[in-house]
Amino acid sequence: MSAFRQPLTAFRLPPELLAELREVARASGSSASEIIREALRRYLESVKVIPR
């Protein structure tokens, strides 16, 4: 992670998804933010469109 403060983005999650996220974060020793950032990176990489 970079040394400077990153922008804050807020969004809503269904309670069940938030509970699952928190459980995974606890079990893995990661923060919920770290898990969300990695999931978003992977998703964005998977949907990149190859220019023609």
Share of the chain above pLDDT 70, in %: 92
H-assigned helices in the chain: 15-28, 32-46
Q: Is the pLDDT of residue 5 over 80?
A: yes
Calculate ∠ Cα 33-37-39, nearest 5°: 115
Calculate mean pLDDT across residues 24-29. Answer: 98
- The C-alpha atoms of residue 40 and residue 47 are separated, in whole angstroms, by 11
Which of 7, 35, 2 lies closest to 20, judged by CA?
35
pTM given for the model:
0.77
- Report residue 48's pLDDT band, with 50, 70 and 90 as the boundaries: confident
